[in-house]
Amino acid sequence: MEPLSLEKEDRIRLAAEIQHFMAADLDVDIGNMDAERLIDFLATSLGTKFYNRGLKDAQALMARKADDIQDELYALERAEEKRG
């Protein structure tokens, strides 16, 4: 499996958002390189957890949809006529 990564534009935007957050909310000024290091750290430490959670949510959705399809197929069944 490929490692988690971001598109260049997303990475630039996220670094700017981190810099703004750090300055506005924590009164800490960091440079672009520090913001990118933080992105790498968070992607490594949290990225897999969020990715796996997304997969579990997708699996649950697919299971519900498969159940719905099964119910719809069952509803299409025709009763067999008894002859005799």
Same domain, 41 and 3: yes
pLDDT one-digit tens code per residue, 54-77: 999 999 999 999 999 999 999 999
Output the pTM of the full model. 0.67
For 6-62, what is the HEC assignment?
CCHHHHHHHHHHHHHHHHHHHCCCCCHHHHHHHHHHHHHHCHHHHHHHHHHHHHHHH
What local confidence, expressed as pLDDT, does residue 56 receive? 98
Same domain, 22 and 62: no
**pLDDT band at residue 13 under the 50/70/90 scheme:** very high
Task: Reply yes or no on whether the pLDDT at 3 is more than 90.
Answer: no
Same domain, 7 and 29: yes
What local confidence, expressed as pLDDT, does residue 60 receive? 98
Same domain, 66 and 34: no
What local confidence, expressed as pLDDT, does residue 79 receive? 81
For residue 67, the enclosing domain spans: 48-76
Give me the number of domains the chain comprises. Answer: 2
Same domain, 1 and 37: yes
- Report yes or no on 5 lying in a domain: yes
- Report yes or no on 58 lying in a domain: yes
Q: For 14-18, what is the mean pLDDT?
A: 98
Same domain, 39 and 11: yes
